[in-house]
Structure 1
Amino acid sequence: MRLSRTARIALGGVTAAGLAVVYAPLLLVLLNSVNSDRSFGWPPSGLTTRWWRAALHSEGVRQALLTSVRAGLAATAIALVLGTMAAFAVHRHRFFGRRTVSFLLVLPIALPGIVSGIALNAAFRTVLDPLGVGFGLFTVVVGHATFCVVVVFNNVGARLRRLSPSMTEASADLGARPWQTFRYVTFPAVRSALFAGGLLAFALSFDEIVVTTFTAGPGTTTLPVWIYENLARPHQAPVVNVVAAVLVALSVLPVYVAQRLSSDPAGGRL
């Protein structure tokens, strides 16, 4: 379809405006991280790396970062195992209620975070409290895994739909056992989808704040929660901007890699 010059200009203007709405605030965060004015006056009165040094030496930031990494890695590991198994079950086998199972697996990511948080909080109090298990890193990991499973399930399922069953059938006809077929045929085909799903799952877990608020116990502070709690504190606000700027920079690479791998029709190579 060919567009007129006026239509192309209008479409370009709308696109540019949409991108500006999304990315201008992110650029402002990056600029405020080196703004010498503690109150973020505009235009900046000067540039400084003082806040970056303060963030580097902040014990609270380091502990919150470590907690977020631990929770993200654990939730991603659980999501990779459960999401992959569920994807193979739903897309490779026919059984009663298959569509219902698929719907229930995808539902958690569509629910409002506050609803999931309240439900998880009530479930943990009902089930774990009588067992003597309190709120902490474990409950945060379980809470994050509930929606991280979805992205792994969707990525692996999408790859399995593009993978012809004749490949595994040919492997079996040549005498390969089920484990050999998985190792040499199926796994190489879904490997990039697993990697992309794992990256997205970790990014979701690392960024989560609503579910974390309802499932974390005293002393379990992730980086997003630390940012939220310290944003209103005048002495911590510049450091918060530094942490946010680092998160913006670190988020670009995994999302870009996951997008490239997910869109690779050939399965990609790692």
Structure 2
Amino acid sequence: MRLSRTTRIALGVVTALVLVVVYLPLAVVLVNSFSTSTALAWPPPGFTLEWWGRAFQSEGALDAVLTSVLVAIVSTAIALVLGTLVSFALQRFAFFGRDAISLLFILPIALPGIVTGIALNNFFRTIMGVPLSIWTVVIAHATFCIVTVFNNVIARLRRQGTSLEEASADLGAGVWTTFRLVTFPQLRGALLAGALLAFALSFDEIIVTTFTAGSGVTTLPIYILNNMFRPNQAPVVSVIAVVLVLVSIIPIAIAQKLGGDTKPGR
């Protein structure tokens, strides 16, 4: 398809405007992390590395990072197991209500975070009668992390088919041998991509976390929200925000690379 010169220029301008709107605020946050001002002022009066030193020496920030990492790792592990099992069940077996179940598993990622947060808060406190804690946050995050694993794995299962597994069975391999030597190697990239996306999604989640975390649980996004408008904390928050962006970009970039692999059997 050939585009006219005018159309190409128009598309280029629109693309540039969208990128500016998306990434200019992030650039401002990055610059403010080096600003000598104690507020989010623009333009910055000077540049310093003081705030980066304070951020990495802040016990509250470090504790929040560790909490976010713990929640993300455990919820990702849960999502890997459940998301993979559900993918196999829905792709390899035909039964009544399969499409409805598939929709129900995808729905949590589409629901507004505040709706999910309120629903889980009521479920934990009213129905289950359990206090909010780091484990209620883990369960809450796992509900939407499952979707990323499920989508990656079921897409790979649909693409690779069952011919290699059937050939393995014909040659005398058992179910677990076939899974270990044939199925798992083909799913490895999809599993890793789903896990990285789930980790990134959990690590920077704030709305659902706010409704399901106990009073003593502070993840990194909650720490940023609580300290953003405190005196002399804005530059430190900017540093943490920059680190959060970098931590989110790395797994997403890796997952995109892995997800772009369309060659069967790899």
Contact 2:75–2:138, Cα closer than 8 Å, also in 1: yes
> CA deviation digits over 1:60-99, x for unaligned, max 9?
1011111100000010000000000000000011111111
Amino acid at match of 1:22: V
Distance 1:165 1:185 in 2: 10
State the alpha-carbon separation in 1 of the partners of residues 231 and 168 from structure 2: 64
Q: Identify which range, 39-48 or 7-16, moves more after superposition.
A: 39-48
Whole-Å Cα distance in 1 between the matches of residues 207 and 225 of structure 2? Answer: 11
| Deviation string, structure 1 residues 25-67 (Cα, Å, up to 9, x no partner) | 1111110000111123322211100101111111110111111
Selected match of 1:142 from 139, 143, 163: 139
2:248 to 240, 251, 254: 251
1:193/1:267 contact within 8 Å kept: no
**What do the CA deviations read for 1:86-143 (whole angstroms, capped 9, x no partner)?**
00000011111111110110011111111101110111013432xxx42111100000
1:90 and 2:90 matched? yes
1:55 aligns with 2:55: yes
The aligned residue for residue 216 of structure 2 is 219
AA matched with 2:79:
A
Q: Which range moves more in the overlay, 1-10 or 195-204?
A: 1-10
Q: Which amino acid aligns with 1:169?
A: E
Distance in 2 of aligned mates of 1:267 and 1:211:
37
Map of 2:75 onto structure 1: 75
Distance between the aligned counterparts of 1:40 and 1:98, measured in 2?
A: 51
1:265 corresponds in structure 2 to: 262
Give how far 1:166 is off. Answer: 1.1
Is contact 1:128–1:134 with CA below 8 Å preserved after alignment?
no
Cα distance in 1 between the residues matched to 2:198 and 2:151:
11
SS of corresponding position for 1:40: coil
Corresponding position of 2:102 = 102
Match of 1:19 in 2: 19
Deviates more, 1:42-51 or 1:58-67: 42-51
Aligned position for 1:115: 115
Residue 267 (structure 1) shift:
6.0
Query: Within 5 A, what are the aligned runs for 1:169-184?
Result: 169-184=166-181
| Distance of aligned partners of 1:85 and 1:116 in 2 relative to their CA distance in 1, 3 Å threshold | same
Q: Which range is displaced more, 34-43 or 108-117?
A: 34-43
Q: Residues 57, 268 of structure 1: CA spacing in aligned structure 2 closer, same or farther, 3 A cutoff?
A: farther
Conserved in 1, the CA contact under 8 Å of 2:160 and 2:265? no
1:248 Cα deviation from its structure 2 partner: 1.3
Which of the numbers 175, 199, 202 marks the counterpart of 1:202? 199
Tell me the distance in 2 between the aligned counterparts of 1:253 and 1:125.
36
Amino acid corresponding to residue 145 of structure 1 in structure 2: A
- Take 2:145 and 2:216, find their aligned partners in 1: how far apart are those partners? 23
| SS of alignment partner, residue 42 of structure 1 | coil
- 8 Å CA contact retained: 2:156, 2:187: yes
Q: Percent identity?
A: 61
Which residue of the partner structure matches residue 64 of structure 1?
A: 64
Does the CA-based 8 Å contact 2:152-2:191 persist in structure 1?
A: yes
RMSD: 1.2
Distance 1:243 1:121 in 2: 28
**Superposition TM-score, scaled by structure 2 size:** 0.97
Q: TM-score, normalised by structure 1?
A: 0.96
Unpaired runs of at least 5, structure 2: none
Q: Contact 2:159 / 2:264 at 8 angstroms: preserved in 1? A: no
Provide the rounded CA distance (Å) in 2 between the counterparts of 1:268 and 1:73. Answer: 28
**Alpha-carbon shift at residue 6 of structure 1 (Å):** 1.4
Q: Deviations over 1:124-173 (max 9, x none)?
A: 013432xxx42111100000000000000000000000012111111100
Provide structure 1 residue ranges, at least 5 long, that are not aligned to the other structure: none
Structure 2 counterpart of 1:91, one-letter code: Q
Local SS of the residue matching 1:94: coil
Please tell me whether the aligned partners of residues 192 and 268 of structure 1 are also in contact (alpha carbons under 8 angstroms). no
Of residues 226, 235, 240 in structure 1, which corresponds to 2:232?
Answer: 235
